Amino acid sequence: MGGASTMARIERFIQRTIRYGTFLAVAVMGGVLILIVATAIGRLLGYTIPGTFDVVETFMMAVGAFCLAYCESLGAQAKAEVIIDRVSSRARSCLEVFTTLLTTLYWVIIFYAGWKVLLVKFARGEKTDLLGVNVVPSRTLWITAVFLMCSFLILRFLHHIKDAAKGTMTKGVSR
């Protein structure tokens, strides 16, 4: 009994962290949008804002990762609902196990590759070309978002295995 409540608390913590990270990413995206518009207006007036590309390039990776993690936590990814709705509940559970396993493996590989790149970039002290801003914090946010997504997917995978064993189907992880 204690294990199930601990798992539920971990799931809620991961989902909450993904949600807060996504809200932060949306705020950053708003700032980037304002910067891009200001740069476009500035160029019309014959003035450029140096480093715009560096800033956009630095933050977009983290923004995208948190948004993908948020979509995954909502179960908002694209599915072939027309096909899935026509099979039995047990077959649907098995399909969920299989597709969640594939999705998890994909994001674990992305996490592993990203982690290796982060370590290399950290050792080199990677900076943006024009502004010389360290990009390791942005890469760290990105790898954190991917790690949270992997954690969420692993928990979802465990839920789907349990559902497949019971022959039932739940809609995602507890919310």
Confidence band of 111 (pLDDT split at 50, 70, 90) = very high
| Cα 94 to Cα 160: distance, rounded to the nearest angstrom | 8
| Cα 93 to Cα 159: distance, rounded to the nearest angstrom | 10
Q: What is the pTM of this model?
A: 0.76
| Cα 144 to Cα 115: distance, rounded to the nearest angstrom | 10
Helices (H), the chain: 2-44, 52-74, 81-84, 89-124, 136-166
Please determine, for residue 158, whether its predicted confidence score (pLDDT) is greater than 60: yes
Averaged pLDDT for residues 16-21: 91
**Mean pLDDT computed over every residue of the chain:** 83
| Cα 152 to Cα 70: distance, rounded to the nearest angstrom | 10
CB 143 within 8 A of CB 114: yes
